[in-house]
Structure 1
Amino acid sequence: MSAITIGYARCSTDKQDLAAQRAALERLGVPPERIYTDHGLTGTNRARPGLDQALAAVRAGDTLVVPKLDRLARSVPDARAIADELVARGVKLALGSSVYDPADPLGKMFFNILATFAEFEADLIRLRTREGMAIARARGKLRGKQPKLSEKQQRELRRMHDTGEYSISDLAELFSVSRPTVYRTLAR
């Protein structure tokens, strides 16, 4: 049985597109039907069904191809765990057009350096996000998720509920909200 290439692509948000990563994988020789993807899942989330499928599809002698290491993992421990699993199974790892042998000392060092940079980049993004949110909060621009109902609607919902004539389902239908929203409004 001959070795095959399996591709994996991931984007963090639903607004991002996987087309560029898919095209890169196809240019690297991965057949389109062998590309597994995760859409809207961060690299720090280890529960990634597409990655699990890609890892299940590779066999000894095969190559797992990822456009960039940060698409595979965003932390050194996660990257190491995936690389160690691949080595144990006799699977090669290609990051872009470069094939890395994590079993080789030089390949292992280079892989760990790349994983460290990917983790550093993820940490910087989190730091910048927190800083931006703190600044927006201080300026009054970030107030969190807004209630589904205005203050006036909330008062009316409460008044109607207190009459005893309306069930939670009735109120949800009348105000075009879910039942949990009615319960949250009444609990406030």
Structure 2
Amino acid sequence: MIIWLNGTHGVGKSTTSLRVQQLVPDSRVFDAEKVGETLMDIKPGLPATDNFQHWPPWRPLVIETARRILDYTGGVLVMPMTVLTEAYWDEISGGLAEHGIPVKHFVLHADEASLRQRIMDDAIMGPSTFRLSHLQTYVDAAETWLHAAGEVVDTSGIGAADTARRVVDALGGA
């Protein structure tokens, strides 16, 4: 099974994923961003883009990598990754389904003031104009498809430990 933590940049997916992994037996964290980083390292580079998710190889490589990890290790993958393009989510979730891999899709959400504060106060990345510039993209996705495609977990005013507990509680018997 895959526990996919979606949501805008800076909402706390990576931090929460580590907490979820501690709460779910036989689980591992796989950050699909590493697949994008691998593609970014190709020399000469792939066609210019502002987001590696736009490169056609990224999505099937995420599917195949997740499948191969699960084939090798079994258990559960916790995947923190922002996917705000509906067609990309459909391709990834559909590809995983074709391999018989169940996906529990959670959308971590926070009000805009909380998000801006988290982004500006991030002790690891520091203030990020990239993250701030993608807030509207998240709002647009949330209003049109994203919140309907996953279980929304409101993280406003709570930390990663409480968010992880909400995610794990929502798994129920899964």
Would you say same fold, with TM above 0.5?
no
What TM-score do the two structures reach when normalised by structure 1? 0.32
What TM-score do the two structures reach when normalised by structure 2? 0.34
Name which structure has the greater RCO, CA cutoff 8 Å, separation 6+: 2
Larger Rg belongs to: 1
